[in-house]
Amino acid sequence: MAGIIELERVSKHYTKSIIGVDDVSLSIEDGEFVTLLGPSGCGKSTLLRMIGGFEQPTHGRIFLAGKDVTWEPPHRRDVNMVFQDYALFPHMTVGQNIAYGLKMLGVGRAERDAAVVEVLRLVGLPDKIDQMPHQLSGGQRQRIALARAIVRKPKVLLLDEPLSALDARMRDQMRMEMKHLHDKVGITFVMVTHDQEEALTMSDRVVVMESGRVAQDGRPQDIYDHPASPYVANFIGTTNFLPGGVVAADGGTAKVAVSGIELTALTDRPQRAGDVVTVGFRPEKLRVVPPEAACGNILSGRVSEVVYYGLGLRTALELDGGETIYVDSLLPDSLARSGLPPLGSRLAVAVEPHNVFVFPGGGAP
Amino acid sequence: MTRTSGLAARLRPAAEHAAVPEQRRQRAAPGLVSRYAADTAFMTFVALLMAFLYIPIWVLIAFSFSDSRSLTWPITGFSLQWYEKLFSNADLLKAIGNSFYVATLATALTLVVGVVAAIALHRFNFIGKTLFRRLVLLPITLPGIVTGISMLNLFKLIGFNLSLETVIFGHATALIGVVVTQVYARLQRLPKSLEEASSDLGASPLRTFFHVTLPNIRSAIIGAGLLAFVLSFDEIPVTFFLTGRDNTLPMYIYSTLRRGVTPEINAVGTLIVLMSLVLIVISVIATRDRTSR
Amino acid sequence: MTLDRRTLPGLIVLGIPLLWIVVFMLVPYGILMTYSFWVKSYPSFKPDFQFGNYILLFTDPQYVQVLWRTLKISLLVSLASFLLAYPFTYFLVFRCRWQAVRTWLYMAVIAPLWVSYLLRAYIWKTILGTEGILNSFLMSVGIISEPSDIFLYNQFAMVVTLTYIFIPFMVMPIYTALERIPPNLAEASSDLGVGPWQTFLRVTLPLSAPGIAAGFTLTFCLSFGDFIAPFLVGGPDGNLIASVIATQFGAALNWPLGSALSIVMLVIVLLIVSLSDRIEKSSRTGGT
């Protein structure tokens, strides 16, 4: 079965050299919560706006529930958008804002009023119906914008950086609320964000974008644990990168020489001995071990900097081979009592083979 | 180390901050005395400017109550005779009526064209947009006499008789720029997402305009309309060339001035000042944003 | 070609002002241009193509003199307005500590725009005249013993009157420009050890250049085309271009010459406007 949204080789070329979206094909299933993730300028917002009908692709087609809507204006598409600045009509009350879309559908007054009351209860603001938007807090405006969009029961709800205007505490709370709302209403959500944490915590599926193209498309944990490229590994979470060369390869495992030692890695892609590769591993997957530990995959060096960040420590370790890597460790009680590792002291860390990424080619992002 | 010192500098009270580097303080923060002197100088200047702007208007009003025919200071006695004369002057009353007629219709016309032009400038990209904008805004800087004369040529050429209606077209042309600047500025401040949201919620472009755009630029339109009304009411250069036998109020005053000045003009002037004052108050109240964001 | 529902409203929105501009501006300017090449043929004029009118304007001392005088007066008016408006707006934006006072003072300067322009010129006739209050005042104070006629009917009177009338057009753009300057720029400059005068000359003044340019453009162009002030306070040698144009279309019945003069005025205004546009654009892009 085809998805509720089908993007068929969609591109948006502003000029010959300035390309917003470059040959993106994407299929979104009914009821999914999909996030388009990437830095600013990667084309994610343009893609969302093309689904909404605010911009037209220069190539390719867009299907909504099997119907070609590429050239339909926004008011003739069964999708609704939550804007980054919420775009609540300042001259209308909350109730009028929410009823607006229903009025345009030709829904009768009584039915409209009932729907407004119901959706306000759903977003937890039943008593704000007669207030003006400027009387609301940021979080409340956000919920009204959501209510105004979902009251029309669209096939797809588009969310353009919906949490970026909120402060950190409010953002955390709204993340959970929006996820619950998605489960409750069963509408397909397509969200755009540059915040990787938002993408990982809220969505069923994350589409990472890089300069107008899809860099990786998958479940949050797949993207985090099996990044397709150094770009993805670096954009989502933090990754240590070291240049290396494959020494020996055997099916799913490879031995890679890095920084004067050999690391064993379980790899997604088959490797060949002699290949130049970039090895990556995440700071929090490193485990501090006694220097004389007998297990493999050990990197050792000198502590060059220690940063305390509340939840744990980030230690910069200057390897014997010369490179610097970061090691994150949760702060155990014992360490808190004994104090931070002194600068210049020797430290050894180990990494499990399945936590080592091997990317073809040299050069970290 | 450097970070803490920077932070500490920011946390330090302002007075102490200014006192730190000795040679810098003398140049950066002028002493209290010189600051006081500067403030006094500025305030004196502002007071003089206000006197320059408002003493003439008070003089105008004062002479309207003079009992003498000559405009000589000091005024010898109080009288309302000039107002009595004014209200029995049929020509003058007719001119006032004509001015209201012209100003009302010219304002209506210029608002329609000006608002539409502002929207075109705001919404569309088209070839020659820069030229279009310049032409629309040209009458603001272009002396009225050029507008008046060029339109006079047009009307003569196509055989239109000069009348109050030709004046209306002239005023509407001269005032479009005023409307466009004000309405366009407001449109630019209106977030683009509002119109997009309306469209997203199923409204056609026309409905979006009437339900979302118009209510949000209404105060700018009212403000521009009131200003256009006043400017049209007072207009001389365009009227001078485009009017037929009928006189507007400023044209009537202008022709009276040719014959010599009497306090009757001051009486009319006082009434105009009063009307302007009322319109200013209306404009301030009407254009105040109730939903200040 | 068919018009679908999407392009039709757009065409109407664009069409109305476009039609208006063509009919009431471009066509009339075209006619004006055409007439300027025609010749006078009493009591009317006849088609021709010759530059006689323009040659006359730029060679006959009578017209050259008026042109220079108009340029001079307009420049003086702009300059006077600037010297009055800049310190005032500077005070409002940077020195005035009470928002309410700032709003009221600004309104007080703009408000006269709403009061008849003819009346504002007329008042100065009564103030500066031999029997006017300036003379009466000076006599009562004892500075002069009998009424003087040096105040009225000269270029000084025109400059005072036009400055009085057009000063709001200098205040408005400068105020907008100064208001846009973030106050922390001046603070940063003084924090870097730059004195207040240097800060003003190097930070504030250059940043307000677009406002100054707009103010000069407006006051200059408006004074340049004025014929009320010369009529009321100008006196025998106070003719400005606009009064000459009015005469050509009135008593002198020389429409071609009047048209040529109008075209000259139009061209000068267009030049000034595009110059001011350029200044504004270059200061926005950070050029010199």
Q: In order of start, what are the domains of chain C with their CATH numbers?
A: 61-284 (1.10.3720.10)
> Do B64 and B92 share a domain, yes or no?
no
> Do B128 and B267 share a domain, yes or no?
yes
> Do B72 and B150 share a domain, yes or no?
no
> Do A52 and A85 share a domain, yes or no?
yes
Q: Which residues of C touch B269 (CB under 8 A)?
A: 116, 119, 122-123
Containing A349, the helix (H) or strand (E) segment is: strand A346-350
Whether the pLDDT of residue B30 is over 60: the answer is no
> Do A192 and A306 share a domain, yes or no?
no
Neighbour tally for C93: CB within 10 Å: 21
CATH for B271 = 1.10.3720.10
Q: What domain count does chain B have?
A: 2
Cα dihedral: B228, B234, B238, B240 (round 10):
160
A114/B148 Cα distance (integer angstroms): 60
A115/A98 Cα distance (integer angstroms): 9
Containing C69, the helix (H) or strand (E) segment is: helix C61-90
> Do B179 and B207 share a domain, yes or no?
yes
Which among B49, B146, B176 is the nearest to C84, CB-wise? B49
Give this prediction's pTM: 0.82
Q: If pLDDT is split at 50, 70 and 90, which confidence band does B293 have?
A: very low
- Give CA separation, B8 vs A234, B3, C205, C272, in Å: 35, 9, 33, 52
Lowest mean pLDDT among A31-40, A205-214, B14-23, C155-164: B14-23
Q: Could you tell me if residue A279 is inside a domain?
A: yes
Whether the pLDDT of residue B78 is over 60: the answer is yes
CATH for A208 = 3.40.50.300
Mapping DSSP to helix (H, G, I), strand (E, B) and coil, where does residue A288 land?
strand
Average of pLDDT values for B239-258?
90
Which is more confident, A39 or B78? A39
> Do B46 and B155 share a domain, yes or no?
no
Contact A226, A212 (CB under 8 A): no
Q: Using omega within 30 degrees of 0 as the cis cutoff, is the peptide bond preceding B74 cis?
A: yes
> pLDDT tens across B109-132, in order?
999 999 999 999 988 888 888 888
Q: Could you tell me if residue A11 is inside a domain?
A: yes
> Do B268 and B177 share a domain, yes or no?
yes
- Give CA separation, C104 vs A317, C96, C109, C215, in Å: 65, 11, 9, 21
Contact A118, A168 (CB under 8 A): no
A233/A355 Cα distance (integer angstroms): 12
Q: Which residues of C touch B243 (CB under 8 A)?
A: none
Listed in sequence order, the residues at least 6 apart from C99 whose beta carbon sits closer than 8 Å to its beta carbon are none
Q: Could you tell me if residue A273 is inside a domain?
A: yes
What is the ipTM, given to two decimal places?
Answer: 0.86
Helix axes C133-141, C117-128, angle to 10 degrees: 30
Class of residue C9 by CB neighbours under 10 A (exposed 0-12, middle 13-18, buried 19+): middle
* Average pLDDT for chain B: 83
Q: Which of A233, A263, A289 is the last residue of a domain?
A: A233
Q: If pLDDT is split at 50, 70 and 90, which confidence band does A332 have?
A: low
A215/A225 Cα distance (integer angstroms): 15
- Tell me the residue range of the domain where B61 lies: 19-82
Which is more confident, B93 or A330? B93
Rg of chain B, C-alpha, whole Å: 27
Which among B140, B145, B257 is the nearest to C232, CB-wise? B257
> Do A80 and A172 share a domain, yes or no?
yes
> pLDDT tens across B95-106, in order?
999 999 999 999
Buried-state track B110-129, b at ≥16 Cβ within 10 A, e below 16: bbbbbbbbbbbbbbeeeeee
C190/C204 Cα distance (integer angstroms): 12
Which among B38, B135, B241 is the nearest to C249, CB-wise? B241
Whether the pLDDT of residue B20 is over 50: the answer is no
C124–B contact, CB cutoff 8 A = yes
> Do B162 and B268 share a domain, yes or no?
yes
Q: Which amino acid, one-letter code, is at B199?
A: S
Q: Which of A233, A252, A267 is the last residue of a domain?
A: A233
Whether the pLDDT of residue B10 is over 50: the answer is no
Class of residue C168 by CB neighbours under 10 A (exposed 0-12, middle 13-18, buried 19+): buried
Neighbour tally for B281: CB within 10 Å: 10
> Do A105 and A208 share a domain, yes or no?
yes
- Tell me the residue range of the domain where A16 lies: 5-233
A238/A236 Cα distance (integer angstroms): 7
Tokens of A91: 């001259």
> Do B212 and B155 share a domain, yes or no?
yes
Length of chain A: 365
The dihedrals phi and psi of A276, each to the nearest 5 degrees, come to -85, 130
- Look at residue C47 in the predicted model and tell me its pLDDT: 80
Least Cα distance to B52 among C161, C38, A27 occurs for C161
> Do B267 and B149 share a domain, yes or no?
yes
Range 207-236 of B in CB contact (< 8 A) with A: 207-208, 211-212, 215-216
Average of pLDDT values for B190-212?
92
Average of pLDDT values for A82-90?
93
- Look at residue C39 in the predicted model and tell me its pLDDT: 81
Q: Which of B61, B82, B103 is the last residue of a domain?
A: B82
> Per the CB < 8 Å rule, is C242 touching B49?
no
Whether the pLDDT of residue B183 is over 90: the answer is yes
The chains found to touch A (3+ Cβ pairs under 8 angstroms) are B
Q: Could you tell me if residue A161 is inside a domain?
A: yes
Q: What domain count does chain A have?
A: 2
- Look at residue B23 in the predicted model and tell me its pLDDT: 39
Task: Name the closest residue on chain C to residue B39, using Cα atoms.
Answer: C95
- Give CA separation, B18 vs B2, B5, B171, C190, in Å: 19, 15, 57, 10
Contact A12, A203 (CB under 8 A): no
Q: Which of A209, A233, A257 is the last residue of a domain?
A: A233
DSSP 8-state secondary structure symbol assigned to residue A210: E
Q: Which of B33, B56, B82 is the last residue of a domain?
A: B82
- Give CA separation, A219 vs A36, A184, B219, in Å: 12, 21, 50
Q: Which of B62, B82, B102 is the last residue of a domain?
A: B82
Tokens of A233: 């590994």
Q: Could you tell me if residue B247 is inside a domain?
A: yes
Contact B147, B238 (CB under 8 A): yes
Which among A74, A104, A132 is the nearest to B196, CB-wise? A74
Mapping DSSP to helix (H, G, I), strand (E, B) and coil, where does residue B21 land?
coil
> Do B73 and B150 share a domain, yes or no?
no
Helix and strand tally (H, E) in chain B? 15, 0
Using alpha carbons only, what angle is made at residue A52 by residues A46 and A58, rounded to the nearest 5 degrees?
A: 50
Q: Could you tell me if residue B180 is inside a domain?
A: yes
Whether the pLDDT of residue A214 is over 50: the answer is yes
Least Cα distance to B241 among B184, B191, B190, B166 occurs for B166
Q: Could you tell me if residue B10 is inside a domain?
A: no
Lowest mean pLDDT among A27-36, B280-289, C154-163: B280-289
> Do A251 and A272 share a domain, yes or no?
yes
- Look at residue B141 in the predicted model and tell me its pLDDT: 87
Interface test with B, best of C77, C115, C162, C247 (most B CBs within 10 A): C115
pLDDT tens digit at each of 288 positions of chain C = 344 455 677 788 888 999 999 999 999 999 999 989 888 776 677 787 788 888 888 888 888 999 999 999 999 999 999 999 999 999 998 888 888 888 899 999 988 888 888 888 888 888 887 777 787 777 777 777 777 777 778 888 899 999 999 999 999 999 989 988 887 777 777 777 777 788 888 888 888 888 999 999 999 999 998 888 888 888 777 788 888 898 888 877 788 899 999 999 999 999 998 888 888 787 766 544
Q: Could you tell me if residue A365 is inside a domain?
A: no
> pLDDT tens across A95-151, in order?
999 999 999 999 999 999 999 999 999 999 999 999 999 999 988 999 999 999 999
Which among B193, B196, B291 is the nearest to A132, CB-wise? B291
> Do B160 and B90 share a domain, yes or no?
yes
Q: Could you tell me if residue B293 is inside a domain?
A: no
Å between A88 CA and nearest CA of chain B: 7
In the sheet where A205-210 sits, what is the strand order?
A79-82, A156-160, A188-193, A33-37, A205-210, A213-218
Whether the pLDDT of residue A336 is over 80: the answer is no
Å between B151 CA and nearest CA of chain C: 6
> Do A182 and A92 share a domain, yes or no?
yes
Task: Name the closest residue on chain A to residue B204, using Cα atoms.
Answer: A75
Least Cα distance to C21 among B172, B183, B127 occurs for B172
Q: Which residues of B touch A152 (CB under 8 A)?
A: 201-202
A315/A340 Cα distance (integer angstroms): 10
Q: Which amino acid, one-letter code, is at B207?
A: R
